[in-house]
Amino acid sequence: MLLEGIESGKRKSHTVKLASDLVIVGGGMAGTCAAITAAREGLTVTLVQDRPVLGGNASSEIRLWILGATSHMGNNNRWAREGGVIDELMVENMYRNPEGNPVILDTILIEKVALEQNIKLLLNTSVYDLEKKGTDQIDFINAFCSQNSTEYILSAPLFMDASGDGIVGFLSGAAFRMGAESKEEFDELFAPDEKYGELLGHSLYFYSKDTGKPVRFVTPSFANKELSKLPRFKTFNLREDGCRLWWVEYGGRTDTILNSEDIKWELWRIIYGIWDHVKNSGEYQDVENLTLEWVGTIPGKRESRRFEGDYIMHQKDVVEQREHFDAVSFGGWALDLHPADGVYSDKAGCTQWHAKGVYQIPYRSMYSRNIKNLFLGGRLISASHVAFGSTRVMATCAHNAQVIAMAAKLCKQKNLLPYQLADIDQIKDLQALLLQAGHYIPKIALNLENNLIKDAEIEVSSEFELKSLPFDGPWKSLEFSMAQLFPITNGEQLSVTLMLKCKQETNLKLELRKSQKSGNFSLDELVEKQEIKVKTGEHKYQIDFDFVCEASQYVALCLIQNDVLEVKCSSARMTGVLSIFNKFNKSVATSSVQSPPDGIGIEEFDFWVPERRPNGHNLAFELGKSLKGFGKGNMANGIFRPTHQTNAWVASQKDLNPEVRISWSSTTLIKEIKLFFDTDYDHPMETTLMGHPESEIPFCIKAYRIRNENGKLLYAQEANHQTINIISFESTIPVKEIILELEHPSASVPAALFGIICS
């Protein structure tokens, strides 16, 4: 028994001191991915999260889907899902949770963190104070857990603030901004004026549920009964199930940190007002059985402080896809600003302008310019209000966070502070570490320096050649222009035979298009035009193009919209080959052409977007000469997704035993083999709300075996669904040869591999 008498002074909380290599404050997607990455790289990490689960805005407390450069497949960023740990989490989520249940995502995040021995996770623990050493470094931070009544003193040489509002940056005196820059500061013509507003507000979501029997709703007294004053009130759409009303936004005219609780009350008032209207106004049919299943209690915060690093990203970095010597990550969401009046504004809920392709993010935007041991994570990174409109989405935040974790590793290894890595040679080391972990940096390839395959000979049992895709799929009406992307290598030419169907004679316009910038899929360069006469009935047509390709690139055969025509598609799907359509996704665009008003510094271009499976068939076609961009050399080119070319070795479908044989001239010691499979980086894998028709990606190899030169089995896998497989041996093994026996993912999809790293 514990018996304590009267204490005339005051008692002190139970206190625990913890020291680690890196303290991460905030367990949103940024903090979580940084923690996992750093722990796997051998750093000891303390991850402090003030709430009971991880994921921040993606958690079951708030329920936003994680998105990034794929932009719901609604812009021209092909194969743009983020790589590394965030990819692993999203692939795992789709595998376990194709229905998009946010509670399942919670379990995945908690599980992945709990599996890392190097992470000390403090949930329900809020950081509230800190001490500095000198003027420009943090010594330790103070946090308190109300659940175990414990005060924590957390020290480390390096800190990462991933708290959303930037508690650590603020308390430590780091330079920050809140609100929008003037147009002049960074020559940002899209910078909003005072009238539009300078800050994005908070939102709350809610879920409804059909109980199968009538349910009444007695409205709480605080609900807003004057909903008709909301300008968007008339467009309220019940089919959204009450959960996708992201535009129920408020707070952008006030301090989104200090007044956060008041903002939440206003959002509650609006949401319960909406529900009162739905249930009790009599204006809606079929709502008797509906109940409110869940209403958010913690508002989703969009914007507050943005901290200053050695570089502040701005509009032109995004729109012009500017390149940086210290590129370490990328973004691809639109410049997405919202009117500060939110739900009370008569303007559109958001204004989104996309760049023509993905853009690089520089390392210098990821640490504080004056607090020398502080990294800036998540939405805190150094960006103007306009650029932040794009960098703020969670997959981008998570991808950037992986950079911070790797940078922390290098800082520890080399005894450097974060800013000291912003040097051309140090950055190369950082880029290499990242790329090896599956991270993607546009225009940067991993060199073979630390890859033992550089000294090996690679043989494959077959190489796929794209000669035809069978005429066995559905007919597709050309109500929208459709394009087939062909990966073309130097010197190749296109002669394509298609099958067309029409009820009346017509002319079909065809265009061969490519993209001005290598790696883009904007199709903004017309290469050649043709027009063919199409007879009634079903017929095949051969179209020969003069264009000779001078570099490896994707070229699109565009079939221009024609209401009376249908084109035959194929059921065949394969790595790096895709069809796209000149239409738009209303979640992220308003028309199939991005048409910005003059003078806002945004480019006009067409959207060419894919359709999601089970749709999105390739065209059926025969080619005069086969395309050869699927060779074994792709496995060693240091790019692990399609960019300007497929970057994948693909086996022939006829090859019943696809095999990669890696041979060294003398015995080589191997500790680890890393394989990069195709989990379709074009798939956005939205984590919640939205279901997916598949839980595994059809291109991903499930089963494979690894043998040595004597046929001895070194490893076997029967049920893979992940992008990267790491096969670590307990100790180094001597081999002269490694034979990788692969099975095709299915009868209609050939086996493909983006890369192999042996170390």
- Residue numbers of the site for ligand FAD (CB under 6 A)? 25-31, 48-51, 56-57, 64-67, 126-127, 162-165, 167, 203, 246, 300-302, 378-379, 392-395, 397
Taking the C-alpha atoms of residue 453 and residue 551, their distance in angstroms, rounded to an integer, is 26
Nearer to ligand FAD, 23 or 500 (CB): 23
Task: Provide CB contacts within 8 A for 710, sequence distance 6+.
Answer: none
**In this structure, are residues 500 and 534 in contact, taking their beta carbons and an 8 Å threshold?**
yes
Strand partners, 544: 495
**In this structure, are residues 25 and 125 in contact, taking their beta carbons and an 8 Å threshold?**
no
Nearer to ligand FAD, 74 or 629 (CB): 74
Nearer to ligand FAD, 126 or 668 (CB): 126
Q: How far is the CB of 190 from ligand FAD (least distance, A)?
A: 19
Q: How far is the CB of 474 from ligand FAD (least distance, A)?
A: 31
Nearer to ligand FAD, 131 or 538 (CB): 131
Taking the C-alpha atoms of residue 332 and residue 573, their distance in angstroms, rounded to an integer, is 25
Nearer to ligand FAD, 20 or 57 (CB): 57
Q: How far is the CB of 496 from ligand FAD (least distance, A)?
A: 38
Closest alpha carbon to 57 in 402, 403, 392, 439: 392
Q: How far is the CB of 58 from ligand FAD (least distance, A)?
A: 7
Q: Which of the 8 DSSP states describes residue 591?
A: S
Write the Ramachandran bin of 303: left for phi over 0, alpha for psi from -120 to 50, otherwise beta: beta
Nearer to ligand FAD, 358 or 577 (CB): 358
Taking the C-alpha atoms of residue 440 and residue 676, their distance in angstroms, rounded to an integer, is 12
Q: How far is the CB of 146 from ligand FAD (least distance, A)?
A: 12
How is 151-163 classified by DSSP, letter by letter?
A: EEEEE-SEEEE-S
Nearer to ligand FAD, 152 or 677 (CB): 152
Nearer to ligand FAD, 256 or 426 (CB): 256
Rounded to the nearest 10 degrees, what angle do helices 29-40 and 394-414 cross at?
Answer: 30
Q: How far is the CB of 340 from ligand FAD (least distance, A)?
A: 14
Strand partners, 566: 477, 501
Nearer to ligand FAD, 392 or 412 (CB): 392
Nearer to ligand FAD, 70 or 515 (CB): 70
Nearer to ligand FAD, 363 or 704 (CB): 363
Nearer to ligand FAD, 30 or 700 (CB): 30
Task: Provide CB contacts within 8 A for 523, sequence distance 6+.
Answer: 76, 483, 513, 514, 515, 556, 558, 606, 608
Q: Which of the 8 DSSP states describes residue 219?
A: P
Closest alpha carbon to 417 in 360, 361, 362, 370: 370
Q: How far is the CB of 380 from ligand FAD (least distance, A)?
A: 6
Q: How far is the CB of 104 from ligand FAD (least distance, A)?
A: 18
| Owner of token pair 């035959």 | 568
Nearer to ligand FAD, 48 or 287 (CB): 48
**In this structure, are residues 37 and 14 in contact, taking their beta carbons and an 8 Å threshold?**
no
Helix, strand, coil share of the chain (percent; to 5): 20, 30, 50
**In this structure, are residues 683 and 697 in contact, taking their beta carbons and an 8 Å threshold?**
yes
How many CB atoms lie under 10 A from the CB of residue 436? 20
Taking the C-alpha atoms of residue 310 and residue 304, their distance in angstroms, rounded to an integer, is 20
Task: Provide CB contacts within 8 A for 665, sequence distance 6+.
Answer: 455
* 632's tokens: 């074994």
Taking the C-alpha atoms of residue 23 and residue 46, their distance in angstroms, rounded to an integer, is 5
Q: Which of the 8 DSSP states describes residue 101?
A: -
Taking the C-alpha atoms of residue 540 and residue 500, their distance in angstroms, rounded to an integer, is 6
Taking the C-alpha atoms of residue 365 and residue 381, their distance in angstroms, rounded to an integer, is 6
Taking the C-alpha atoms of residue 721 and residue 91, their distance in angstroms, rounded to an integer, is 8
Q: Quick check: helix, strand or coil at residue 71? A: helix
In angstroms, the first-to-last Cα distance of the chain is: 57
Taking the C-alpha atoms of residue 71 and residue 14, their distance in angstroms, rounded to an integer, is 47
Q: How far is the CB of 34 from ligand FAD (least distance, A)?
A: 9
